[in-house]
Amino acid sequence: MQEAQALPGRDLGEDTLGLYRRVLDRVRRRQDSHNAKTIYFGSEAKHDVLSTLAERTQERATLLYIVDADATVQNDQTDVLWQDLAATGVETQAIYLVAHLGILDAEFIAQLSAQEADGIKVRVANVAWLSDDLAATAVYDCVLSDDAVLVFSPSVIDTDRSGLWTVTVADEHLSAGQQMLSDLWSIARGLDDLPTDLDLEEPLAQSARLIGDVASVLCVGDHVDVDGCTWYHGVWQYLRLMDMVSTPSWHHDFYSRELNQAVELGARSPVVSGTADYSVFAYLVGALGDSESHTKLTVVDQCNTPLFACQWYAKRVGVRVTTVSDDIRSYASSHAGQHDLIVTDAFLTRFSADERREVLRDWHTMLIPGGRVVTTIRIHTGPSRGQTPDEAVASFRDRATSRWRRWQPFVGLERQQVAAMAEYYARRMISNPIGGELDIRELIEGFFVIESSEVASVPGELYPTDYLRVVLRKEI
């Protein structure tokens, strides 16, 4: 190979690289020039920066770690810095902010316990525990040293300085960092104080992105939208994370109580009749407990996306489920008298007047004598007051973008994406009115005995909403 020849008048050696080093120096000076009390470093300098910080800390260090939805704590060289610091008698606190408590497996707890054994005070906070004001703060991996120096990582929320670590002694940064860490420490809990009964909604931070991705492939249309339901199933769990849409969690006590009672009465062949994801199924699994191994669990829906979600959840919690891609109305004809319990949430108002009578008739066909339906039905008593439809949609969109802040470090999506999906959902979703409580009762009593009922007010999606919670029984 012929040796490269330098062009006349040009040096290909160190002098050329020196030019670019000077360019790099100028860029860094521009980055730092706006604030003489703040310096930015590339991520490759993380260990050197934190080593210097640890060496100069005299009294107290407070650390915040953002733990990804699927991650466990990863030991690296920086962990030794804080262990050594704690060993010298410096008060060292570590806060782990998690997307959900479900990731607190034995390995994770063992790692945190080892840190406590090394003298580090450890607490864990669930992002769902954050107040709206705290969630609106740009939360990031950081270390506060002696209330005098704050070092923080590139924030998922703030993309202006992507990849750069910040070291600051600026009063405004120190004040904000001190307040954020103090607030987080106050709501976080020690390892011995963490709840043992995990919320059924916990896996949302893990599953929202996955289900959103597969919806673009699996959604082909269902009872919500026969032309395609990606706009519905693809965004549903993101909206649930922000508590923006009607789900069984809005009726937690009702479903927990009635499903537990149904299992105690001997229900062993339950079916979920239409679902947006795994939420109804999760309540059913929770009620079955040890009875699950003797129970045939079935989920029926036209769309494969919620069926995939139920399969994902079933694998996660170690249960078996049969999923059937079918219209519940056609499913009933081949499964007459094969179920003793039907569970669904806010299902009937997805259908027209004639269709919901057919759904009730098919539920009756599917159940054995004495079988039950546990469900909720939205009450419509007239037009909502106080906001026009456009104002209600705008309010829904704005609430979504505000609430999204707390979840963005874990699930992603930009603010503009959240705003667009929320507005599109709000404009497309339709709840077909049945009427008031008496109208609903009249409809149901043509097919079932109403064993119990209660009216409940919930936040609603676009407007505050009332629901009728009912347990129906097929006569013997």
The one-letter amino acid code at 59 reads E
State how far the Cα of 117 lies from the Cα of 115, in Å rounded to an integer: 5
Task: For the full predicted model, state whether its pTM sits above 0.85.
Answer: no
- Residue 277: pLDDT over 90: yes
Token reading at 60 = 């107290």
Neighbours of 351 (CB within 10 A): 18
CA-wise closest residue to 121 among 180, 43, 189:
189
State how far the Cα of 313 lies from the Cα of 317, in Å rounded to an integer: 6
DSSP 6: P
pLDDT digits (tens, 9 = 90+) for 404-418: 878 877 777 888 999
In sequence order, what are the residues at sequence separation of 6 or more whose Cβ sits closer than 8 angstroms to the Cβ of residue 152? 140, 141, 142, 143, 165, 166, 168, 177
CA-wise closest residue to 132 among 391, 400, 395, 397:
400
- How many Cα atoms are found within 13 Å in the side-chain-facing hemisphere of 281? 30
Question: Residue for token digits 């390995």?
Answer: 107
pLDDT digits (tens, 9 = 90+) for 290-311: 776 678 999 999 999 999 999 9
State how far the Cα of 262 lies from the Cα of 468, in Å rounded to an integer: 19
For residue 203, what pLDDT is reported? 81
For residue 128, what pLDDT is reported? 82
State how far the Cα of 378 lies from the Cα of 6, in Å rounded to an integer: 79
- Residue 39: pLDDT over 70: yes
Question: Residue for token digits 């733990």?
Answer: 67
pLDDT (average), residues 384-405: 86
CA-wise closest residue to 280 among 195, 201, 218:
201
pLDDT digits (tens, 9 = 90+) for 159-188: 444 467 889 999 999 999 999 999 999 999
pLDDT digits (tens, 9 = 90+) for 355-376: 999 999 999 999 999 999 999 9
pLDDT (average), residues 221-241: 81
Check if the beta carbon of residue 266 is closer than 8 Å to that of residue 295.
no
pLDDT (average), residues 74-81: 70
State how far the Cα of 178 lies from the Cα of 154, in Å rounded to an integer: 18
Neighbours of 387 (CB within 10 A): 13
pLDDT (average), residues 49-65: 94
- Residue 387: pLDDT over 90: no
For residue 194, what pLDDT is reported? 87
pLDDT (average), residues 201-207: 78
Q: How confident is the model at residue 107 (pLDDT cuts 50, 70, 90)?
A: confident
State how far the Cα of 405 lies from the Cα of 68, in Å rounded to an integer: 15
pLDDT digits (tens, 9 = 90+) for 128-162: 888 878 877 767 789 999 999 999 887 544 444 44
State how far the Cα of 348 lies from the Cα of 329, in Å rounded to an integer: 12
Indicate the average pLDDT of the chain: 86
Q: Which domains does the chain have, with CATH numbers?
A: 35-191 (3.30.870.10), 204-473 (3.40.50.150)
For residue 222, what pLDDT is reported? 55
Cα separation values, 74 from 63, 70, 93, 313, Å: 15, 12, 17, 26
Q: Is the dihedral of CA 256, 262, 268, 269 positive or negative?
A: negative
- Residue 112: pLDDT over 70: yes
